[in-house]
Chains A and B, each alone.
Chain A
Amino acid sequence: MTRKFLTLAAGALMLGMSSMSALAAGKTIAVSWKTFQEERWKTDEAAIKAVVEAAGNTYVSTDAQGSAQKQAADIEGLISQKVDVIMVVAFDSDAILPSFKAASDAGVKMLSYDVLVEDPNALYVTFDNVGVGRIIAQEIQKVKPEGNYAFIKGDKGDPNATFLFQGMMEVLKEALDSGKVKNVCETFTDGWKPDNAQKNMEQCLTSTGNKVDAVLAENDGMASGVVAALEAQGMVGIPVGGQDGDLAAINRVALGTQTVSVWKNARELGKVAAEAANAIADGTDPTKIAGVGKFSGGAKGVEVNAILLAPTPITKANVSAAIDAGHITKDQACAGVAAGAVPGC
């Protein structure tokens, strides 16, 4: 009886192993999305799916619908389906840690996508968020090296709001210390809401008597609120920075009411992450993948392997970059801009 069982088990094991080796190219790569409530994730998904399927692997996905519990259950489900790699866009980067551990224990390779999960066994693929803040500050400083700067920060509960601000401060530290640049307003904006940003900017202008020379907003939605507030004071045209590559923001850049929108090309991020996932699924050591370095800038300071992509600043000079990449149509980008006034329009 026992022997029979053992033979069966061995046979099953053999079968399993042989099927695994037969599927050398046919790995399964799963993505656990935190939500599909934002448009951008569809872009990421399309890019990931294309790369995964081009390599002969299978793409599966789950949607946590903005719930940490659902995401944990999703990952459990994926582990029991015996997928090879799980890419996770974490909804709550701390609450998901046990799921990461369980997956690693079960031999599933983990990858944290866009949102940092501080698990040393997971590869972190993202845009350099501190870098985004740095670029916003650099572009603003290029056009306005001295003066009063206002900072419209994102939601206080989002670590990215702090990363972005850190980046800005790295660039501006010297100018702030020497007094060339003065920080006259600095506010968090509830929920990253544009209308809240507009009110914050209005209060900033009132409380400084309009003595603001440049505004660094942490995203484009809030930049739209800032521009509306500036317009009411006839101050449109002073440097305004933002990020996201919002279609309306690229149009504002072409019109000259916004100086820079730092664009994180989601297609690019999806492509790089999917390539990394393919490689890991084939057994490549994460540290051997091109572009991988060490990152320990998270809240707990855990060192993880990471790929940090550099984002693209969209300024008047390279509006065409977003058009050429198919991110925005020429009509949308150049609405209201005289033909030839801006390169690409």
Chain B
Amino acid sequence: MGHHIDALVDAASEDGVALDGLRVTHEDDGYRLETPEATRDGLSAADLADTLGDYDDYATNWYFWTNVVGESSPQRRAFLRWVEGADEHAVPERYDALRDGIRREWGQLLVTVTVDDHGERSYDLRHVDDGDHDTSALDEYHEPLAARQLATYDENGRYRPLKTGANLAGGWVFPELDGRDLVETVGTFYPASVPNWYREREGTLDVEHWEDTIGRQTGMYSVVETWNRGDGHEHVDWVAEACCDDSQCVKRREWQYNDETDLDVDGGDGAFPCREPCSLVIAASRKWTRLEGEETRTYEFELTPSEKEQVEDIIEAVADGRVDDIREADVYEGANRYRTRFLRAKLFDDDGNLCGVPTDDE
């Protein structure tokens, strides 16, 4: 007899047991066991233990959520239950799926949870793009804090200043984490993502909109407030389009211009929320505040139609991070290096002025 059944009988004799369709109570005429499939009454403790043997998935499920995961961290419990869809799927069908592995995506992370014969869950964590790769083809890690280094550099070895940037590198796997270590590892890749997601589910997420977040800045960032003028929020639409789009950040932007005014840009489809403009948005906005303080001027440049389009191609390629994808000899791409060098050779003067037109009046 498994220790999970002993534990369950003990718990039933005290306060009773109720979880995920399993219900065991202690009545005057003995124990009563209910599942969606069957009900048994008047059982002795030994009968109950025997009968539970026929409902072992219910029993191990109860044991896992009660004694292994427990209630000490409501957000960890909620996240682990979400991973296997525990609130949506009944135990029999969920266990069938768990034996094959249930997959969930969290930003660029892919969690696969499986169950063994004792109801123990094991979590495999890897990059979404590595979902179909053999574990043996990936670098194996077991300590949650190993994620810190994996999260620090992109696939080109460049520093990632934003942990939720959509440029997490792959090639690694945490093949068999327990629930606690899974949540630690996820929290190392995406800090505070689970607490914020949990608060959102509970209806207590403290979203702080642009106006309030900018309003609380002091020191070198207090200048950003001067960028706001009246009710217009087009400038913040541009900020969100530049920084917060799903192509740039895996968080789902929930902050708006203020309590009453939503931005015109979509917040994205991320699994977990972004509750206020981050430090990167604020630092970039400080630069934009200064740049946007300039008045426009009229410059006159002479470009061929193809040159105008090429300038647009270059801006598109840089903005979409495609520069490194453009092949060296692909001169059909406007942002190709040779094409761009030709444009510079033809149009720049010795001081780097486009078409020889100075930036400031001389």
A and B pair up: no
Residues of A within 8 A of B (CB): none
Residues of B within 8 A of A (CB): none
